[in-house]
Chain A
Amino acid sequence: MKNNELETQNELQDESLFKARLGRRSFLQFAGAGAAGIALVAAGCRKDRIMDVPSGSGVTLDFKDDFGVLNYAYALEQLEAAFYILVASNPPSAFSAAEKAYFQDIQFHEIAHREFFKNALGSAAIANLEVDFSSITFSDRTSVLTTAKAFEDLGVAAYNGAGGRIKTPAYLLLAGKIVSVEARHAAYIRDLISNGTFADLNDLAALGSNNANGLDGALTPDKVLGIAGKYVKTKINVINL
């Protein structure tokens, strides 16, 4: 963890880049990537030509192939990483030393997931998302834990609900390697909120769980993005779902 401070600084710089307005230059980069394989929706292009667009033209998740699913995962990991970077760099004062250490761990897990997808997708990767964490009080332990729980449970349901869309066995395996780590995070955070709720499947019913069958949540991408929407400023377009 000796490099953490440096890490955090880097991340905060990343963070400010996220929030920077998507200017003409980055749009051109985006469009250039489009030529390499990303389908840009016409509306997105049109919107960008108008002056004073508030925050970019959005990103498009095209579920016609595995890149769409991987970009979907990349989008969720971007959100999670951005959240945990802020928590780990300035944790609530009510956090214990052990909690601070584990949130540091989780931060690195989510950054690793994000960077993994970025590299795996290469030129097919969507742009950085601009986050909206205005609903979170980062100094308040309860607010942070409640949000972390929401992110992790939703992440689990997202991966579970998207697995069947993946066409490449290697990608399915990778999603499987990540989702169980998210489930471990979810269990840990739930136990912090209330010990013993690590797998409260009744409580997860809105995310598609089924307690009678012992099944965790599973949601389709449109439902997941609907729930995650409150944390994202960037418009996320979904096609070919």
Chain B
Amino acid sequence: MNIVNILEEIEKVDGEIYERLNPRRAAMKSFFNIGKKISLAAMPLALGSMFQKAYGQTTPTAVIEVLNFALALEYLEFHYYNHALLAAPNLVFPNAASKAAITTIRDHEAAHVNLLKGALGASARAEITYAMTDFTVNGAFPVYDDYATFLAVAQGFEDTGVRAYKGQAGNLMVSPGVLQTALQIHSVEARHAAHIRQMRTTQAAGAATYKPWVSLGASGQANDSGVAALDAVYAGEDLTLQANINIVGINGKTGIDKKAAVECFDEALDKASVVAIANLFLKTGNKLS
């Protein structure tokens, strides 16, 4: 990580970055002094707090709201996988590769939590702990007793995450640097979703196939997960009109049927819909608003 590059990047969108930093030279000085002592892994936190100091109250409220919303979702995802790995004795991973994949995903979600917390600094929302969650939704989903159910809900989480970040991108346009970071998280979530879908196909052992991309359901419905309880996650994913351009058979390309048109564009989900999904997994008293 090259701090000079980062400052240059910021300068492009905020020509006054150095002036902002300058009157608070103490903040910079202490940052660089700390820098000598901290490990690279701790850098995002340190960077986040430096920018917090430099920008003070100027980070737009809308951006803070988006980041806190993202942080809540990342907490949920992190706990979902972390509990599966550490404290779910009845959940049997079929092989080392499946456990390794879930570990990779868990680690990314933990990194996202830390990054967002660091960027938000004192504005970060309260921590969501595992105790505040109920991933079984009152026992409806035996996620920690049944591997297939665990993967199905994981797919729901990842595909929801992809849609949630997409839905918030417009609110981050005022802060291009933050927007880019959010986009970099967004595509990682899409990679996770693709892999979980492949894991489900492997687990189904020929009984069902889940494409790495969001396709049409077997009966032509928007939800291609095979789990009706996840309908809300896929509501509107069957859109085939993009910017008023019909993708089906576009420019005489007859091979692009409805299924292909649905697959080639992922759809965003608005905050209220994402909150409704997330709240299924949060206990009363801890729900998002």
A178 x B1 contact (CB < 8 A): no
Segment among A21-29, A54-62, A185-193 that sits at the interface with chain B = A185-193
B111 x A120 contact (CB < 8 A): no
B265 x A178 contact (CB < 8 A): yes
Cα of A201 to Cα of B189 in the assembled complex, Å: 12
In chain B, positions 231-265 with a C-beta closer than 8 Å to chain A are 242-243, 245, 247, 250-257, 260-261, 263-265
Q: Contact mask B14-35 → A, CB, 8 Å, 1/0?
A: 0000000000000000000000
Known A156-B187, A161-B180, A180-B187: A199·B195 in contact at CB below 8 Å: yes
For residue A216, which residues in chain B have a CB less than 8 angstroms away from its CB?
Answer: 183-188, 191
The answer to whether B224 has its CB under 8 Å from any CB of chain A is no
- B170 contact from A1, A159, A169, A212, Cβ within 8 A: A169
Segment among B53-61, B96-104, B144-152 that sits at the interface with chain A = B96-104
A214 x B115 contact (CB < 8 A): yes
The answer to whether A115 has its CB under 8 Å from any CB of chain B is yes
Further pairs besides A179-B187, A181-B213, A215-B188: 20, Cβ < 8 Å: A3-B254, A108-B256, A112-B253, A112-B256, A112-B265, A113-B264, A116-B245, A118-B251, A169-B173, A172-B170, A173-B170, A176-B186, A180-B266, A183-B187, A198-B191, A213-B112, A214-B108, A214-B188, A216-B185, A217-B184
In chain B, positions 145-189 with a C-beta closer than 8 Å to chain A are 162, 165-166, 169-170, 173, 176-177, 179-181, 183-189
Segment among A4-12, A45-53, A133-141, A227-235 that sits at the interface with chain B = A4-12
For residue B217, which residues in chain A have a CB less than 8 angstroms away from its CB?
Answer: none
Segment among B36-44, B131-139, B271-279 that sits at the interface with chain A = B36-44
The answer to whether A19 has its CB under 8 Å from any CB of chain B is no
Contacts A/B (CB < 8 Å), 24 sampled: A6-B255, A109-B213, A111-B256, A112-B260, A116-B247, A120-B245, A163-B183, A164-B13, A165-B176, A169-B170, A176-B186, A177-B242, A178-B266, A179-B187, A180-B266, A183-B187, A184-B191, A185-B213, A188-B198, A196-B100, A198-B192, A199-B192, A214-B111, A216-B183
Question: What residue of chain B has the Cβ atom nearest to residue A199's Cβ?
Answer: B191
A119 x B251 contact (CB < 8 A): yes
Known A113-B264, A174-B242: A215·B104 in contact at CB below 8 Å: no
- Expressed in whole angstroms, the minimum distance between the Cβ of A193 and any Cβ of chain B is 13
B260 x A108 contact (CB < 8 A): yes
Interface size class of A (residues with CB under 8 A): 35 or more
- Expressed in whole angstroms, the minimum distance between the Cβ of A100 and any Cβ of chain B is 14
- Expressed in whole angstroms, the minimum distance between the Cβ of A108 and any Cβ of chain B is 4
The answer to whether A105 has its CB under 8 Å from any CB of chain B is yes
- Expressed in whole angstroms, the minimum distance between the Cβ of A212 and any Cβ of chain B is 5
A218 x B266 contact (CB < 8 A): no
Interface centre among A116, A166, A196 (most CB of B within 10 A): A116
Give me the interface of A with B, judged by CB distance under 8 Å: 1, 3-4, 6-8, 10, 102, 105, 108-113, 115-116, 118-120, 156, 159-161, 163-167, 169-170, 172-174, 176-188, 191, 195-196, 198-199, 201, 209-218
Main secondary structure of the interface of A (DSSP, over half): helix
- A191 contact from B188, B195, B266, Cβ within 8 A: B195
Known A176-B268, A181-B266, A184-B190: A215·B243 in contact at CB below 8 Å: no
- B191 contact from A108, A109, A163, A186, Cβ within 8 A: A186
Cα of A113 to Cα of B253 in the assembled complex, Å: 12
Main secondary structure of the interface of B (DSSP, over half): helix
Question: What residue of chain B has the Cβ atom nearest to residue A6's Cβ?
Answer: B254
Q: Contact mask B80-123 → A, CB, 8 Å, 1/0?
A: 00000000000000000100110011011111101100000000
Cα of A210 to Cα of B107 in the assembled complex, Å: 13
- B252 contact from A10, A178, A180, Cβ within 8 A: A10
- Expressed in whole angstroms, the minimum distance between the Cβ of A232 and any Cβ of chain B is 22
The answer to whether B193 has its CB under 8 Å from any CB of chain A is yes
The answer to whether B212 has its CB under 8 Å from any CB of chain A is yes
For residue A217, which residues in chain B have a CB less than 8 angstroms away from its CB?
Answer: 184
Interface centre among B181, B184, B252 (most CB of A within 10 A): B184
Known A105-B260, A210-B1: A173·B213 in contact at CB below 8 Å: no
